[in-house]
Amino acid sequence: MDHTIQYGTAVAGVISILAVYLALRRSSTVRNIPGPASPSWLFGNMLQLCLPPTYGDYEFDWQRIYGPFYRIKGCFGQDKLMISDPVSLQYILNSPHFKFGPTSENAIHLLFGIDSIMGVNAEDHKRIRAALNVGFTAAAVRDYIPVFEKAAQTLTEQLEESLGESINVCPRLSLATLSTISEVALGYSTKELGEEFMKNNFQACNLRLCPHKSLIDSCCRKIISSSCAAIASSQSAAQIVADAIGARLPGWVWRAAIHLPTATCQAIRTAKRLANELGNQVLCEKREAAEQGLDINTDLYGQLLDLHRLNRTKNTLSEVEIVAQTAIMMLAGQDTTANTLAFGLVELARAPEFQDRLRAEIHSALRASDGGSALYDNMPLLNAFIKESLRMFPTEAITDRVAVKDVVIPLTDSLITTTGERISHIPVSKGQNITLAIASYQRLESHWGEDAQEFKPSRWLDGPTFKGEAVGPYANLLSFLGGPRVCLG
């Protein structure tokens, strides 16, 4: 009898849990957001999103059909929200209720370290950003111009030497960006970085696990020309499933897995070791130089060390904290910048007339500068070209976030759910996976106009470029994201 009661209670319990689950499933707003049908339970819409023949083949169509806020299926039937609505994006990027998706978070910890600017959160993040900012103010960047010009000159000479030959510009652009970053951040030339570091940094940039690499991957499929073979996508269906499984594993499994004898784990371990050695070596040399009374305020690390030694502001970093930024500093800006330039060059090659006008503008500005640095802000065509390259080819085309608590996301315009309800806010539960669709946002016709899919620098010269909410730190673009974690560089 007792057993029958216990059995009955257990069955009633299971049925109640099931009923609550089904009720929640039914009432889940996310489930009722319209979106494309899922072709498979295993992959959901992920193959269409991540491996289309050309970037955006499905994504941009979905946006046209369902608007800037829709639902797709991830692997194993998971509901994901795809968001390109400017009001929602602005809200999410500035809200403390969202964090990196689990795969990005674990990859950041492994590759850049938990004490790097991308690995820390809340107050620590604010403090490290405030400290690093000395190297990224408008005045600091103006001081870097001779370094940028030297790198551009070297690259131009190399390209001129290979006139008439078919060459891959991507590794050269990558080398040029690494050399400028190394010089302005550490005061090191690429020669001083050493062969092993350089080789490993290129490899680490290309690791599929590298948070910036996955961004670049998703964007590279946009390139139709084979001239950028070096930055061709390395994603595959197996990797998409592996990422989905990895996202469900706790952090300790990731930390344990890094010791596996695979090529990827080996490359990550080496990248971290080399960055640590480099950071320590640079600080040691600067400490000695300062002790000899030399000025070390000539690059970012010198300034950070000087501020720490003299304790001039409350935002100083300890030597250990400065060293911990080396991996992110050397990786974050290299391929992001190089690939943006590569996409821009492809568009220039396609538009010889525009190329001629741009060249004329640059030559005239150089003549006006009379041997000094050209005034880049006074080159409207060049600035329009840069903005349009960033708009069309954001290196972070999509990026994932997770809600850390139940939260309500605002929308620009209301939408009608699959149950016929009109809603102007979307309630999402803690743990909800969200994809910030940056490339889609930057081609939103309601925001940028009917020609949003066209590469058209003139849009930046012909009056108002966009309608509605302004977002992002630069030119209303989200290529550098926004909010407290906006790109530092």
Integer angstrom CA distances of residue 257 from 119, 126, 214, 252, 253: 19, 30, 20, 8, 6
Helical packing angle, 102-111 and 211-220, nearest 10° = 120
In sign, the C-alpha dihedral spanning 91, 128, 442, 144 is positive
Among the listed ranges 54-62, 252-260, 394-402, 447-455, the one in contact with ligand HEM (CB under 6 A) is 394-402
| Total site size for ligand HEM, rule CB under 6 A | 21
- The answer to the question of residue 473 lying near ligand HEM (CB under 6 A) is no
Question: Residues with Cβ < 8 Å from 120, sequence gap 6 or more?
Answer: 114, 128
- The answer to the question of residue 329 lying near ligand HEM (CB under 6 A) is yes
- The answer to the question of residue 38 lying near ligand HEM (CB under 6 A) is no
- 449, with CB counted inside 10 A (0-12, 13-18, 19+), is middle
- Both structure tokens of 468: 């509605």
Find out whether 448 and 477 touch, Cβ atoms under 8 Å: no
DSSP calls for 191-221: HHH-HHHHHHHHHHHT-TTSHHHHHHHHHHT
Find out whether 348 and 340 touch, Cβ atoms under 8 Å: no
Query: Which residue has its beta carbon closest to ligand HEM?
Result: 489
Among the listed ranges 83-91, 199-207, 244-252, 393-401, the one in contact with ligand HEM (CB under 6 A) is 393-401
- The answer to the question of residue 357 lying near ligand HEM (CB under 6 A) is no
- Give the residue with the Cβ less far from ligand HEM, 269 or 485: 485
Question: Residues with Cβ < 8 Å from 107, sequence gap 6 or more?
Answer: 209, 210, 211
Name which of 72, 74, 69, 108 is nearest 89 in CA terms: 69
Which residue in 63, 103, 399, 476 binds ligand HEM (CB under 6 A)?
399
- The answer to the question of residue 480 lying near ligand HEM (CB under 6 A) is yes
3 state SS of 51: coil
Which residue in 48, 218, 235, 395 binds ligand HEM (CB under 6 A)?
395
- The answer to the question of residue 336 lying near ligand HEM (CB under 6 A) is yes
Alpha carbons within 13 A on the beta-carbon side of 102: 17
- Give the residue with the Cβ less far from ligand HEM, 215 or 415: 215
- Give the residue with the Cβ less far from ligand HEM, 67 or 302: 302
- The answer to the question of residue 201 lying near ligand HEM (CB under 6 A) is no
Which residue in 44, 56, 279, 333 binds ligand HEM (CB under 6 A)?
333
- Both structure tokens of 239: 């990797």
3 state SS of 434: strand
Pattern 81-120, binding to ligand HEM, x per CB under 6 A?
Answer: ------------------------------------xx--
Among the listed ranges 79-87, 275-283, 333-341, 449-457, the one in contact with ligand HEM (CB under 6 A) is 333-341
Pattern 273-312, binding to ligand HEM, x per CB under 6 A?
Answer: ----------------------------------------
Nearest distance from C-beta of residue 479 to ligand HEM, angstroms: 5
- CA angle, 384 then 390 then 392, to 5°: 100
DSSP calls for 355-420: HHHHHHHHHHHHHHHTTS---GGG-HHHHHHHHHHHHH--S-SEEEEEESS-EEEEEEEEEE-TTS
Nearest distance from C-beta of residue 69 to ligand HEM, angstroms: 20
Q: Is 170 assigned to a binding site?
A: no
Question: Residues with Cβ < 8 Å from 11, sequence gap 6 or more?
Answer: none
Which residue in 81, 193, 409, 488 binds ligand HEM (CB under 6 A)?
488
- Give the residue with the Cβ less far from ligand HEM, 43 or 98: 98
Nearest distance from C-beta of residue 356 to ligand HEM, angstroms: 25
Which residue in 49, 107, 181, 398 binds ligand HEM (CB under 6 A)?
181
Annotated binding site for heme: 487
Contact set with ligand HEM (CB under 6 A): 117-118, 129, 181, 328-329, 332-333, 336-337, 340, 395-396, 399, 479-481, 485, 487-489
